[in-house]
Amino acid sequence: MLQMRPPTKTVAALLAPGLLLTACTAMGSAPPSPSPDDVIKAATRKLTDDCLARQGLALPRPGQPTPSSVEQRRVSEALFGSGEAELSLRLPTGYVVRAHTDGCLAAAQQRLYGDQSRWFRTSVIVNNLRPEAEQTHRSLAEVRSRHRAEIAEWQRLRAHALTEATSLLTAKGRPSV
């Protein structure tokens, strides 16, 4: 049986418009913008990495050898703080959430949110609305209504953090997210 192949020029003529359209579409479309969460996470990571570096420390990265337990503890204390937690909030579920004000993460939150203590309080409350609703046998809408002030404060602090994070990450001329 004889196989016939279409002439190369014909195949190229048929494929060229599709390839050109694909190339133009790929080149013409901008990469998706990072989400606000991604921007804030990137700025937090930059601030905490810089803070650790000033102390001669670094977070372990994939592919690097695992640091000793002593080194891991030093990094953990530098990142999260040490000693007794200075911030504490008891939730309606009975759980107590605590945080330090002396670590690199606390410093990053202070820089981004403008007030680490208020950010801690409002974010813990807002992030635990569903468990509160379940614990108190109320609807989530009712619990949200009871915490309108905290939700508004969370939104205000988060907007401040996004502005600060964007400024921090674009300070050298281009985003580093």
DSSP labels for 82-114?
A: -SS-SEEEE-TTS-EEEE-SSSHHHHHHHHHHS
Q: Is the pTM of this model over 0.85?
A: no
- Beta-carbon count within 10 A of 33 CB: 10
67 closest CA partner among 59, 79, 55, 56:
59
pLDDT at 64: 87
pLDDT of residue 27: 54
Select from 19, 23, 3 the least CA-distant residue to 11: 19
pLDDT score for 128: 96
How high is the mean pLDDT in each 10-residue block of the chain (177 residues)?
44 42 54 92 96 93 89 94 94 93 96 97 97 95 97 98 96 56
